[in-house]
Amino acid sequence: MSFTAMPPIPQAGITPEMLAMFSATKQNLEQLIGQSGEIKYSAMLRGAVTFNFTNELISSAPALSGQGFSIAGGGTVPSLSDFTALTKTVADLQADVKRLQESLNALATHAKG
């Protein structure tokens, strides 16, 4: 997408205050649309985002039974099926966090230009 350049501000028939206001407004707009030479200050438009976000996560609530076994010393340990389900859930969450981090890093890189 490109923008049309703004015409010069007419000098005749306006007060110095109006000229200052119009000049500042023109300068701000030129920075936002990237025509001032300082791209780092230009606005990023929605249509300029060209990468895909991760929108489907693989993690879900673990299916745990809550059953455990008593051990010597008064402690309780989870069943093997609960431990396995919890381990899978933690691994899925770790993968989701990594995918989200990669998406955020890509967005930050894209925003910096």
Express each pLDDT in 94-112 by its tens digit: 988 988 888 888 888 777 7
CB 79 within 8 A of CB 68: yes
Q: How many CB atoms lie within 10 A of CB 110?
A: 13
pLDDT band for position 9 (50/70/90)?
Answer: confident
User: What pLDDT, on the 0 to 100 scale, is given for residue 67?
Assistant: 80
Q: How many CB atoms lie within 10 A of CB 34?
A: 17
SS3 call for 70: strand
pLDDT in tens, 16-31: 999 999 999 988 888 7
What is the arithmetic mean of pLDDT over 3-18? 86
Please tell me which residue, 100 or 4, carries the higher pLDDT value: 100
Residue 7 — φ and ψ, nearest 5°?
A: -70, 160
pLDDT in tens, 42-62: 676 666 666 666 667 777 777
pTM of full prediction above 0.85 = no
Contacts of 61 (CB under 8 A, 6+ apart): 89
